[in-house]
Structure 1
Amino acid sequence: MYSILHRYKSITVAIIALATGGFFLWLFFAGSVRDITSPSKRCVVEVGSGCITLKDYRRELLRFSELLKNPRMEELVREQVLSNLIAQELLYQRAKSLSFIASDEEVVEVIKSDPSFQEGGLFSSSKYREVLSRIGMTPKEYEEYIRKLLSIQKLLSFLTNGVYLTEKELEINLLADSTLLSGSLYLITSADVSQKYKPTEQELLEYYQKNKELFKRPEGKVVWVWREKNKEKALSIYNNLKAGKEAEGYQEYKLPEDFQKMSGLLEKEAQRLTPQERVSITKEGEDYLVLYLKQVIPAGYEDFEKVKEKVKEKLVEEKSLSLVEQKAQEVARLLKEGKKPEVRFLNFSDTPALQLNAVANIDQKDIARIVLSQDRVFGPYPLRQGYGVVLVEKRSKRELKPEEKEEAFKDILSLKSQAMLNQYVEYLKKNTKIRINKELLGGG
């Protein structure tokens, strides 16, 4: 069975969509874009002979600006963006080495079909140059960007065209669609276990010390913002700040706590401020905004006394989950012994095996085992709250319609292609020298 792998999903599903008008319009209207189009060629990552620039990295991050507002998601998003960019560069270098390079004609076709550059439904050369000029890109830069995406698409098409399914693979996978199950799903939650646990002071301290990363305080910023209607006055404040002279009339923001008080544009500008570039100016509606990075508060760990209650909650929660899992194991054992445990359960009848995924976290291998095995008890499996144990009373089969078989074939082939592409990217990573500039990345 082939499970859905999300790590490089954007490569195979959406990579060429980056070249569409929707992406370009997003890029244009995302707010201030001077950082995206700055001439800097400094490499955030060196991938073989290639370079992922700070401009590339920041442009991609902007696509996830909403997720970046969540401090808990920020690190994950940044890691995923960097991973995707590395994968793209690896694939592009491979495409070039195999001569899968998009032609000038193919690049022109994509650009001319982009609504962003059309007037009255027809491509306009003047509008093309005007729109690119507004965001500081030259036609050559944009055309090479499109060429890169098209070339990667050519390589991916070549690779996936060689993927096929054997009759045995198709047979096994179709069983999951055609097998109907009847039985019960036993639900084990925190309500089924006794919760009298009260952690001691020593246990709380030990948990805090072992799990300090859970209580990490992100880097903070103190940002001053001036809002002016008069352009000349805003420029005067900006120039004075650049010269080291502070001005009055600002509003102070402490980040990340005050992000919710900021508009989207103001937040993006604040995030871009660094110790090297402390001052920024932009326009929001009729107002000119001048931003100044007053202070950077280093990342660190929250004081134990300050987060003691949070430590207690997490420790009690983990203890509760452990007890629930132990109870679920006991339920599975009783069912295997032919006994009926005293916990809540749901009956299901003639249910497609794959539908079990709707209520329990059962992976593809376990679905295959439930379908093919003669065993009756499976699990426990994680639920949204607690665990579930499956008791199968009866297995039956239904005849799939031709269109259902065809749809299933396409889905299975797609999953196998995705798995192959993930493995291929991992192979390229292992055989390519990759150097990450962590210092530059930290300021991105």
Structure 2
Amino acid sequence: MKAIEANFDGLVGPTHNYSGLSFGNVASGSNRAQASNPKMAALQGLAKMKALHDMGMTQGVFAPQERPDIHTLRRLGFTGSDSDVLTAAGKYSPGMLASCSSASSMWTANAATVSPSADSADGRVHFTPANLINKFHRSIEHNTTGRILAAMFPDETRFAHHQALPESEYFGDEGAANHTRFCQEYGDAGVQFFVYGRAAFRGDKPAPVKYPARQTLEASEAIARKHLLTQERVVYAQQNPDVIDQGVFHNDVIAVGNRELMFCHEQAFLNQHAVKDELTAAMGGAFSVIEVPTNRVSVQDAVKSYLFNSQLLSLPNGETLLVIPEECQNNPAVWDYLSELVEQGRGIDRLQVFDLRQSMQNGGGPACLRLRVVLNDAEREATNSSVLMSDSLFTTLNGWVEKHYRDRLLVDDLADPQLLMESRTALDELTQILNLGSVYPFQR
């Protein structure tokens, strides 16, 4: 059955700030305490969504979380009015308040793992929100993420929504940032590629020393079972622990794939030659790899530029497009390599550069911002059409951002009760624009 790959980008929330919460994410730590610009961040993200829509891609909008998260702060013992809760948290535990105010849900690559109906035994699209237990500020996202996904994909005969995995380090799940699907045509049965950083129940596998491995093998295996995947068409691979220790906190910082092509660094995986052989065999030989050598682009340059946190897209005209951040163009080694790649026609036809600096300074590039969902015609019709990008939605959301967002935010501002009111007012209006219903705690 004919199918397309839709991209659902995270809409940056009103509390976008630089709190430096993500240990192991070099950009997040290095920009800690700088002033952020939530308005610019949201507009930059919308511009990317609209540009891909204009290229003929199916593009959707993924709503942000409610922040500051008063519900979680109350669970942690803060009492009184909402204003009292914010004041007390800001005074006694500013780090906790920052964690409960993070706009990190903008990176929807971490929102969930998605398996298309062509791969699932029951013929439905399967969604499992990621538990994100490695970082507290992200571990509080999955309940609202599940409600938003259910509002976006409401037809239970076509879409299966699962609970997140148990909230334990043994089942650390970081969503689609460590998952890729390969296929020839999107509607064909594909090969699902799960990448993990460590094995929780097996002591014979190496692990990073400096930074944490966020995805476990056991979590990836559980997702494959929940999504009713044919095990012969599932490939598991371990990230190279040495590159995790260099700041490659997710696989999508060192590799990206689409259709029958994988674009990766030569140091991406442990036993990389065997990984390529297994993927080629699972794909019946219809598979190719663009492997970037270290002597052309170092791991450090790949992390700084987010070269592999790019979007590898198949355009309606048949071209293969690589969507990259400006940082790639500004890095001589990376830009020289990419220019040569396109000029020589080695699998990528075009480059598209975007200014995503507000996201990049917190450690998230183009691929971090999107969740990929393969949909056939019937599933596309069953999707909540209000979340799909159009000229009118783009205009509406730009006006919404201009109306509700601040253009400067410091970490100290997170305790301001007015920011909470501004955020809730904005999100309440957004749920009406996107026809999501009551997905936020303050609405329930």
Q: Could you tell me the TM-score, scaled by structure 2's length?
A: 0.22
More helix by share: 1
